[in-house]
Amino acid sequence: MQRIEGRAQHYAWGSPTAIPGLLGLPTTGEPYAEHWLGAHESAPSLVGGAPLDALIADHGEDILGAAAKERFGGRLPYLMKLLAADRPLSIQAHPNREEAEEGFARENEAGVPIDAPDRTYRDAWPKPEALIAITPFVGLCGFRDPVRTVDLIERLDVADELRSVITPLTQRKGSAALAQVFLDVLSYDGDRLRRVDLVVDAAANHTEDDAELGDLARALVQLGNAFPGDRGILAAMLLNIVTLQPGEGMFLGAGNMHAYLHGVGIEVMANSDNVLRGGLTTKHIDVDELMRVVRFKAEEPVLLPVEALGPRTYHYGTSAPEFTVWRVDPGKAPVPIPGSGARIGLVLEGDAQLTGGGETLDLNRGESVLLSAGDCATVAGTGVLYVSGPGI
């Protein structure tokens, strides 16, 4: 049971105030997009001043436990983040394990450097994700039913401008129609790109509408302000708009096309950096690989089931073997910290007192703890403790 120090990521889309406010840090005016807690080699957390990935390399079984070490090859299988989006992130999807292993090997054989800007696979791991909202959180998640998409386009009064989108969605079935339209809008250039501005202008007339049309219109205006003229705005029209209330979460499995638009949340993912982008970005878009990986299927967003495990302890269930997530609202009476294997806990909104193995560790708002596989502890206090661990 040791303190662990997270690592800041200052991407341009981040909020300058949200994460410093949650962690009790001074603001600098610089965007603070993510706070990483884990052993990813690009920004490993520090434990006693030492990088966590180096500690795991030297003491893997003691930290991870035998089962996780055997299953995940001596690698902490997840990465926990505090994420604050002030502006939208790129539309993206992630591969499953087989796709990641094949793509990583293929690019290695082709001699593509790991840090090359046109490299698609940075490692051989999948990257399922879960996002749990701390504030109201808006995102895009999976493809909307084409019938509803056509209806929304018509109600936005842009059916004539988007006839090439509507026609396949009404004449073809299922995944074939979605794939055709998605590929088509990613190829927009020249005069056809003018349709992006026409759609955003039309959406501005519907931002006060109720329900799904208003949600879509507000998202399109936000995307138009952040990425003027970007063809990815039309791709975004095909996706479900999701608004999570604090405490709610969603799961993003392999092949799920998604984007985060605005809000603060806890994000937990497999320990990977494999991202296939599909728009709203200046970075490399590998269209061919994207078309192979993306799940072109109309589906409703998957909200995480929340199960009460005992007094003030809640489990967010996912299908990912790499990670799972709990929330503990400690209170005055100590409650056990759930899970097994290497777990990372982050305290928000107050303080926490951890007791285990004859030791006590006091954590203030924004501080974090690493519990190794053999650590059993209880927690009390005024804060909320979010805990991540392996999903096996």
Same domain? For 331 and 265 the reply is no
The share of the chain scoring above pLDDT 70, in percent, equals 100
pLDDT tens for 98-114 read 999 999 999 999 999 99
Which residues have C-beta within 8 Å of that of residue 11, sequence separation ≥ 6?
Answer: 31, 33, 34
The rounded distance, in Å, linking the Cα atoms of 238 and 234 is 7
- 321 pLDDT more than 80: yes
Is 300 within the bounds of a domain?
Answer: no
Residues with Cβ within 8 Å of residue 173, at least 6 apart in sequence: none
Arithmetic mean of pLDDT, 291-306:
93
Is 311 in the same domain as 376? yes
* One domain, residues 20 and 120: yes
| Non-local CB neighbours of 147 within 8 Å, separated by 6+ positions | 169
Asked whether residue 62 carries a pLDDT value surpassing 90, the answer given is yes
β 276-279/313-316 pair status: unpaired
Q: Is the pLDDT of residue 95 over 80?
A: yes
Residues 130, 20 within the same domain? yes
- What is this structure's pTM? 0.95
Helix axes 163-171, 146-155, angle to 10 degrees: 150
- What average pLDDT score do residues 365-392 get? 96
Residues 6+ apart with CB under 8 A from 107: 119, 120, 121
Mean pLDDT of 16-45: 96
Q: What is the pLDDT of residue 16?
A: 98
126: closest CA among 14, 285, 10, 270?
A: 270
End residue of a domain, out of 225, 259, 277? 277
Give me the pLDDT at residue 67, please: 94
Nearest-angstrom CA–CA distance, 180 and 215: 25
Burial profile 345-361: b = 16 or more Cβ within 10 angstroms, e = fewer: bbbbeeebbbbbeeeeb
Residue 296 falls within a domain, yes or no? Answer: no
Cβ atoms of 72 and 79 closer than 8 Å: no
Structural domain count, the chain: 3
Name the pLDDT band for 54 (thresholds 50, 70, 90). Answer: very high
Query: CA-to-CA distance for 161 and 242, rounded, in angstroms?
Result: 26
Do 351 and 257 lie in one domain? The reply is no
Q: Is residue 293 part of a domain?
A: no
Instruction: Tell me the pLDDT of the chain averaged across its residues.
Output: 95
Residue-number span of the structural domain to which 334 is assigned:
306-389
pLDDT per position as a tens digit, 112-130: 999 999 999 999 999 999 9
- The answer to whether residue 212 scores a pLDDT higher than 80 is yes
Position 374 in a domain: yes
The kind and range of the H/E element at 171 are: helix 163-171
CB 392 within 8 A of CB 69: no
Tell me: do 259 and 232 sit in the same domain: no
Assess whether pLDDT exceeds 80 at residue 173. Answer: no
Looking at residue 311, its pLDDT comes to 84
- CATH code for the domain of 335: 2.60.120.10
Cβ contacts of residue 391 below 8 Å, gap of 6+? 77, 78, 318, 320, 321, 322, 323, 324
Residue 73 has pLDDT above 80, yes or no: yes
Average pLDDT over residues 178-188: 94
Predicted local confidence at residue 236, as pLDDT: 96
Place of tokens 């991870």: 64
Task: For residues 129 and 264, state if they share a domain.
Answer: yes
Give residue 252's pLDDT. 96
pLDDT of residue 302: 81
Q: Same domain, yes or no, for 108 and 257? A: yes
Residue 291 lies in a domain: no
* Per-residue pLDDT at 256: 96
For residues 254 and 269, the answer to whether their CB atoms sit within 8 Å is no
Identify the three-state secondary structure at position 226: helix
> Which pLDDT does position 310 carry in this prediction?
84
The pLDDT value given to residue 274:
96
Residue among 24, 8, 37 at smallest CA distance from 345: 37
Greater confidence (58 vs 173) lies with 58
212 shares a domain with 157: yes
Give the catalytic positions in this structure: 277
Helix (H) or strand (E) holding 109: helix 97-109
> 231 and 208 in one domain?
yes
DSSP state of 75: S
- Residues 378 and 113: their CA atoms lie apart, in Å, by 46
Q: Are residues 32 and 128 in the same domain?
A: yes
In the structure, what pLDDT confidence band is assigned to residue 336 with cuts at 50, 70 and 90?
very high
Give the tens place of pLDDT for each residue, 226-240: 999 999 999 999 999
Q: What confidence score (pLDDT) does residue 210 get? A: 86
- Radius of gyration in angstroms for the set of CA atoms belonging to the chain, rounded to a whole number: 22
The mean pLDDT value for 276-291 works out to 93
Query: Does residue 283 belong to any structural domain of this protein?
Result: no
Q: For residues 109 and 250, state if they share a domain.
A: yes
- Does residue 52 lie within any of the structural domains? yes
Largest CA distance in the chain: 71
Q: Which of 214, 240, 236, 220 is nearest to 303 (CA)?
A: 240
305 pLDDT band, cuts 50/70/90, is very high
Is residue 290 one of the residues assigned to a domain?
no
Question: What is the DSSP secondary-structure string of 268-290?
Answer: EEES----EEEES-SS---HHHH
Residue 52 — left, alpha, or beta (φ > 0 → left; ψ -120 to 50 → alpha)? Answer: alpha
In angstroms, the CA 247 to CA 118 distance is: 37
pLDDT of residue 41: 92
Cα–Cα distance measured from residue 268 to residue 247, given in angstroms and rounded to the nearest whole number: 14
